[in-house]
Structure 1
Amino acid sequence: MAIERQTLRTSLAVLTGGVAVILDATIVSVALHELATDLGAGVGTIQWVTTAYLLALGVVIPTVGWLQGRLGAKRLWMAALTLFLLGSVLCAFAWDAPSLIGFRVVQGLGGGAMMPLMTTMIVQAAKESDRARLMTVVALPTAIGPILGPVIGGLILGAGDWRWLFLVNVPLCLAGLALAAKWLPADQPSKRVRLDLVGLLLMSPALVALLWGLSNVSGDGGFSRTDVIAPLIGGALLLAAFVLWALRRRGDALVDLEVLRSRPTWAASALMFLSGASLYGAMLLLPLYWQELRGEDALGAGLLLIPQGVGSLLSRTAAARLLMRIGARGVSVLGFVLVGLATVPFAFAGADTSIWPLTAALFLRGLGLGMVIIPLMTVAFTGLAHAKIPHASIVTRIAQQVGGSAGVALLAVILSSAASRTADLAHAFDVAFWWTVGFTGVAVLVSFVLPGRAAETAPAEPEKAVVSSAR
């Protein structure tokens, strides 16, 4: 049965603007050296170009459910995309490091609202039976964005000025705004939605503190640094306080944690955390492996990662078909097993290992990553009432964001510690890649909690539980 025309239009309009945000975070990451040189800033200062963007995401993501209720999805989407466009243009005309960092905050505020809202709008527009096929489209930029971003960034830097890293967003944003104005259905905001101010004062600072602490781990001292320990402890305490507060307020909380009463939602959230750690953690190790151990430059390392992106691209259709045949549990287990097995060759690789087996391994790894994302993005909303979908989208987005930061931080410390204990850099990379395999192994075990095909086609019991608990 064909997907409804309006659902396809909504998906296309949202993805056109959303792809700019997905690519932006990783495109800029390859330009820190050029930015530091051109703007006359130190490494510690220029690192805030990425850190400030990350923290801005943490501020706004928890508020998206409330903002959608107040403004309506279409208005919020267009406002957030406009803010991201404004931030991109301002970044391109930044005159020094502080101005660029400030403009990246503007970008982050717009992008932070768009990421969970993108998934929410598409899921709410689609019938549950159509979600698996739609997620093959939604998962495409999510899967290959972190992989192709560094390649695109390297090509732009090779051909021109760093300012084009931000100007490249302009045509995508303008096209996204035009399609959104024409195709997104107008929805009426709920006038009764009140801001959970206490929840906001607990959740946003908690997420910012956790992300800030994790972003500082890569410096000297790792997890023993004061600017790591203090934010992580503070963030954890604030997060615990928010959980207690949200459980009391239930449906009136800033982020309704009642959605986690649904087994598919909490299992998918846990796996999004682990997939974020596996994807983004490995995206720290893989370019470093090619550059530090094999002598490639930034562009060469990015080009060598293309097979992983190709694998992610090719697996999306097969993953949707498998999802209908063997269910989310089977696809997730298969995908994570493939990711783990394809990472093992890098745990044995050295400076002279042939490129071709590693290229084949990256292709297989991409197949697994593309396969994993689709069932997780589909099953996370199984059985949830329409009003609960924004909250589930926020929870899964936070899980992936924190998981990615945690994976990068932990693997950076492992790599640094292993390198300091031995003069053999190849051995240090082997240790770090084995930890990546370990993350994937845990994800395989958690995948067995996901529903099988029978559970997905049966009447949605989780929805009844969630709805009744919110009354």
Structure 2
Amino acid sequence: MSNERPGEQEGPDAIASRDTPRPAGRGAMTIALVLVLGSIMVSLDMTVVNVAIAHLSADFDAPLATIQWVATGYSLALGAVIPLSAWAIGRFGAKRLYLGAIGLFAAGSMLAGLAWNIESLVAFRVVQGLAGGLVMPVGMTILIRAAHPDRLGRLMSTLGLAILVGPMAGPVLGGWLIDEVSWRWMFFINLPIGVVVIALASRIFAPDGARDPRPLDVPGALLLSPGLAALIYGVTSGGEHGDFARPAVLVPLVAGGALIAAFVGRAVTARYPLLDLRPFRDRAFATATGTMSLFAVGYFGSMLLLPLYFQVVRGESATMAGLLGVPMALASGTVMQFAGRLADKVSPGRTVPVTIAVSATGFALFAHQLSADASYWGLGAALLLVGAGGGATMMPLMTAATRRMPHDQAPAASTTLNLINTTVAAVGTAVASVLLSAAMAARVPVAGEGGLQALHGLAPDARAAVAPGLAEAFQHTYVWAVAFVVLAIVPALFLPRRDDGRPGRGAGQRDEPEPRPETGTEPASGLAVSAASAETRAS
């Protein structure tokens, strides 16, 4: 029996891809726009729920420790299902899996909107998480396969529109629906979006063609999915309680880390691993993911701090806090469009260290101004720098990581990127929560005794008296965000500064010429889709 790992010889996908032309650029852009709509549905749901926690606690008469499972249950399901996406793509096909995930997410949304108690709401949020965890990695796989590497930056920036719309519109839309309609419409709003996405994707996406019949790595799944769930639960619980030394937090953290380490050991030896780690052999992929991890801890961790500062220190409403965060989201989404196109012409290794420095400068200026009466204009200007630097960093990093992935490794690459983003975002949020809790307890005694709930119960005069101490606590926590973002510059300096631009070079392979088939012009491992793609769009 051969000991060759998958991808070391041509499989069905590679054979199909080498004999078929790439889709036209306009077709790939159409696919990207449909994927944006599906991603917006998921990102909206994640950000809308954040502003509803207090209202859900009142409606269901449940404590915060119980209500937080509306968010935590979603995150756990998200982290548990992402590792299975690469295998599921090979087993069922990317198009079928994407349509199924969107349909399940819409169904889970409808059920969540009909929830009759907190237990049913948490259960239906888990259903949403299981579906939402597939949407981004499967969608990214579809895009990588459809895009020519020379246009991948532009298409990735288009996909990044979801990152703009979700954080910008989610809190504002959620606040309005909660105040004027009902929290249930946070979920019902997904139904018409889901119907439109399914209708468009069914017609536009290419047929799946040949699929990879490799078996499911059951031992790997039993190691990685529970390991990620335990790790995310541990960091979330640690952030909630402000203490990582509690047994209820420490045990899942250690168990999750041990399970993930055991999975890595299996993945490098198994013939058909659940998650193919070969992309890490590629320098661009490894350095891009390392840079992204450090940057995301500071960048996404600060997402928790911003609305809390406006609400807790400045006394603003949830809707107003969402509006005050619009400059950052707007700058991020706008710059992202230019940065993605620039990544097609200039190697991200030349630009990303500079863009990270821009974001770090914005964070430093924001932290420097932070006080109980800081000018919103000054804070907004600093947030513009933060958002611009973030938008010019994330998409070029994703482009650098995936541009040279061969067809058969596209699912593994997209799955790994989304897995890292999900886990690191949870870790960043938990770290920010712990640091903020400790800083507030040291400066405001009432916060140390009763946490944020005690602050909400203060009279206006009492709140004004503790506002300077609270602002100082937020300022101290933002310094850590600056530190993590600055640290991301170190691996960014090792990103490739030159890109040969040739598509489909295998992860970890050297620069030998690619073998070409006798009846075609694409490399055997090129990123392409089946010939039926063009026929589908033409019809």
Normalising by structure 2, report the TM-score: 0.83
Match of 2:402 among 365, 371, 381: 381
Match of 2:167 among 146, 154, 158: 146
- Offset at residue 458 of structure 1 (A): 6.2
Whole-Å separation in 1 of the counterparts to 2:151 and 2:316? 43
- Offset at residue 457 of structure 1 (A): 3.1
Whole-Å separation in 1 of the counterparts to 2:501 and 2:30? 26
Aligned to 1:297: 317
Whole-Å separation in 1 of the counterparts to 2:212 and 2:401? 28
Aligned to 1:249: 270
- Offset at residue 92 of structure 1 (A): 0.5
Whole-Å separation in 2 of the counterparts to 1:242 and 1:65? 15
Cα gap change, 1:456 to 1:310, in 2 (>3 Å) = farther
- Offset at residue 249 of structure 1 (A): 1.7
Q: How does 1:70-219 map to 2 (within 5 A)?
A: 70-190=91-211, 192-219=213-240
Query: How many residues are paired up?
Result: 466
- Offset at residue 147 of structure 1 (A): 4.0
- Offset at residue 263 of structure 1 (A): 1.1
Aligned to 2:499: 455
Aligned to 1:432: 477
Match of 1:309 among 295, 310, 329: 329
Aligned to 1:46: 67
Q: Secondary structure at the match of 1:223?
A: coil
Task: Report if the CA contact (8 A) 1:275-1:400 is conserved.
Answer: no
Aligned to 1:446: 491
Whole-Å separation in 2 of the counterparts to 1:147 and 1:451? 33
CA RMSD of aligned residues (A): 2.0
Q: More deviation in 183-192 or 340-349?
A: 183-192
String of CA shifts for 1:419-462, please: whole Å, max 9, x gaps: 1122322221111000000010011112112112x235368765
String of CA shifts for 1:176-222, please: whole Å, max 9, x gaps: 00001111111135252200001100110111011100110123351
- Offset at residue 303 of structure 1 (A): 0.5
Q: How does 1:274-353 map to 2 (within 5 A)?
A: 274-348=294-368, 349-353=370-374
String of CA shifts for 1:294-350, please: whole Å, max 9, x gaps: 111111111100111110122023213432454212221122111111111232210
Whole-Å separation in 2 of the counterparts to 1:261 and 1:28? 38
Whole-Å separation in 1 of the counterparts to 2:226 and 2:511? 29
Find out whether 1:227 has 2:241 as its counterpart: no
Structure 2 gap ranges (5+): 1-22, 445-468, 513-539
Find out whether 1:268 has 2:312 as its counterpart: no
Task: Report if the CA contact (8 A) 1:274-1:400 is conserved.
Answer: no
Task: Report if the CA contact (8 A) 1:214-1:228 is conserved.
Answer: yes
Q: More deviation in 454-463 or 265-274?
A: 454-463
Higher Cα Rg: structure 1 or 2? 2
Q: More deviation in 27-36 or 184-193?
A: 184-193
Q: Secondary structure at the match of 1:465?
A: coil
Task: Report if the CA contact (8 A) 2:283-2:508 is conserved.
Answer: no
Task: Report if the CA contact (8 A) 1:3-1:130 is conserved.
Answer: no
- Offset at residue 41 of structure 1 (A): 1.5
Q: Percent identity?
A: 38
- Greater RCO (CA < 8 Å, at least 6 residues apart): 2
Whole-Å separation in 1 of the counterparts to 2:276 and 2:123? 31
Whole-Å separation in 2 of the counterparts to 1:325 and 1:9? 22
Normalising by structure 1, report the TM-score: 0.95
Whole-Å separation in 1 of the counterparts to 2:479 and 2:249? 24
Cα gap change, 1:159 to 1:61, in 2 (>3 Å) = same
Aligned to 1:57: 78
Whole-Å separation in 2 of the counterparts to 1:336 and 1:109? 32
Structure 1 gap ranges (5+): none
Whole-Å separation in 1 of the counterparts to 2:329 and 2:367? 20
String of CA shifts for 1:230-259, please: whole Å, max 9, x gaps: 111001100100000000025x10000111
Match of 1:398 among 397, 404, 419: 419
Q: Secondary structure at the match of 1:150?
A: helix
